[in-house]
Amino acid sequence: MSGCKVGIVGIGAVGTEMVKILRQRAFPADEIRIMARTERDEEVAGEVFHVVPASPEAFDGLDYAFFAGTEGAKGASQTYGWDAVSRGVVVIDNGDDFRMDDRVPLVIPEVNPEALENHQGFIANPNCSTIIALMALGPLHKAVGIKRFIASTYQAVSGTGRSAIIELEKQVQAYAADKELVSEVYPHQIAFNVLPQIGGLKDTMPGYTSEEAKMLFEAKKILNAPDIKVSSTCVRVPVFNGHSEAINIEFERPVSPEEAREILSGAPGVTVVDDVANAQYPLPLNSSGQDNVQVGRIRPDDSAENGLALFVAGDNIRKGAALNAIQIAEKLIGTGK
């Protein structure tokens, strides 16, 4: 297919990464139209784009529109999403406003591409931590069947946005200069600290945050497994980019680490890094900027029947957001790599 006209709504960390990935993967786009609140020029990877104000009419003539809003930047897809669909645009939304909407498939192309069948023009990207977890859990569930999993996440500040990256940088610099550390983005200092809260409290799940609830509800929908049991604790850590997760799994039957490695070694979008004796395991530093999710530390979990433990790391801005959205469009037009 040639001659695609693509829109990107938002030009923050995720929107910028979307532009880069479209170019890197030679997506067949004759036009990339960037929309935001204000009109201006933006340079991305040496290319200057004229940003136009978002409006219903700004979507006219587009084939695909990627809404790049992160968890804290709601509203754009609520305001323009379904109207864009009515104008003949396929909407792929990175925000969480419509993820649990029955009309909207929630898709990781390597895990549940069949969900794209008979879509209604609006497709949702899962949460970044959900994507990174399910890149490992999806192939294992398909091969064996998962009854329950527990995910403990270590999430980078880039998941909050540019302001959080800047805050961590400034706090580290202030610490090195023996100056006061100022916290504005987060309620506590993030440098040299961890914050066991991502998102607000979830009314329907007392004691759990919204980020933790997303892992539960999104995993059930993506895996088409309403009876799967899920618990998570989501923690913000002083890492610039790249989420990591420790995951404990209970399967329907015994699974050896060797079998799990074999399954995961053949899974698209997954790289097995599992040689503890030589200090080889998933690291956010190594996964940052990479398409694949790394999986390692695969070992028995004797605390559960048919249990297994593993550790994953992935780029939350890339595979956890921008890349996944573009891969959805590639699936739709048949150019997926």
- pLDDT, tens digit, 9 for 90 and up, residues 261-289: 999 999 999 999 999 999 999 999 999 99
Whole-angstrom distance, CA of residue 77 vs CA of residue 260 = 38
pLDDT at 113: 97
**CATH number of domain containing 84:** 3.40.50.720
Asked if the model's pLDDT at residue 204 lies above 60, the reply is: yes
Quote the pLDDT of residue 75.
73
Nearest to 136 by CA among 314, 321, 337: 314
In order, the DSSP letters of 117-133 are: TT--SEEEPPPHHHHHH
| Shared domain check, 278 and 239 | yes
Same domain, 222 and 304: yes
Question: 4, 119, 128, 141: which is the annotated catalytic residue?
Answer: 128
Question: Based on the domain organization, do 253 and 202 belong to the same domain?
Answer: yes
CA-CA distance, 197 to 219, in Å (whole number)? 20
Dihedral angle sign, alpha carbons of residues 144, 148, 154, 155? positive
Assign 94 a pLDDT band (cuts: 50, 70, 90): very high
Residue 104: pLDDT above 80? yes
36, pLDDT greater than 90 = yes
Which is the catalytic residue, given 4, 141, 234, 243? 243
The answer to whether 78 touches 67, Cβ cutoff 8 Å, is no
Strand 64-67 with 90-93, pairing: parallel
pLDDT tens, residue by residue, 140-192: 999 999 999 999 999 999 999 999 999 999 999 999 999 999 999 999 999 99
Task: Verify that 81 and 102 share a domain, yes or no.
Answer: yes
What pLDDT is recorded for position 69?
Answer: 76
Verify that 116 and 145 share a domain, yes or no: no
What the block records as the tokens of 309 is 């433990």
Total of domains in the chain? 2
pLDDT > 90 in the chain, percent? 94
Residue 204 and residue 230 in one domain: yes
Residues paired with 54 in a beta bridge: none
Query: What's the average model confidence in pLDDT over 200-229?
Result: 96
- Provide the token pair at 291: 């398409």
Confidence of residue 2 (pLDDT cuts 50, 70, 90): low
Q: What is the pLDDT of residue 115?
A: 97
The answer to whether 254 and 306 have CB atoms below 8 angstroms apart is yes
Considering the domain architecture, whether residues 120 and 245 belong to the same structural domain is answered as no
Instruction: Please name every residue paired with 5 in a beta bridge, in sequence order, or none if there are none.
Output: 31
CATH of the domain at 134: 3.30.360.10
Annotated catalytic, 234? no
> Distance between CA 190 and CA 203 in Å, rounded?
26
Instruction: State pLDDT tens for residues 50-75.
Output: 999 999 999 999 999 999 975 334 57
For residue 251, give the nearest of 261, 260, 242 by alpha carbon: 260
- Establish whether 141 is a catalytic residue: no
Question: 220 and 278 share a domain?
Answer: yes
Structure confidence at residue 70 (pLDDT): 53
Q: Does residue 335 register a pLDDT over 50?
A: yes
Residues 185 and 299 in one domain: yes
Q: Which domain holds residue 223?
A: 130-316
Same-domain status, 12 and 100:
yes
Per-residue pLDDT at 315 exceeds 90: yes
pTM for the model stands at 0.96
Quick check: 125 and 105 in contact, CB under 8 A? Answer: no
Q: Which two tokens stand for residue 92?
A: 């792929």
Based on the domain organization, do 325 and 221 belong to the same domain? Answer: no
114 and 151 together in one domain? no
Residue with the larger pLDDT of the pair 297 and 204: 297
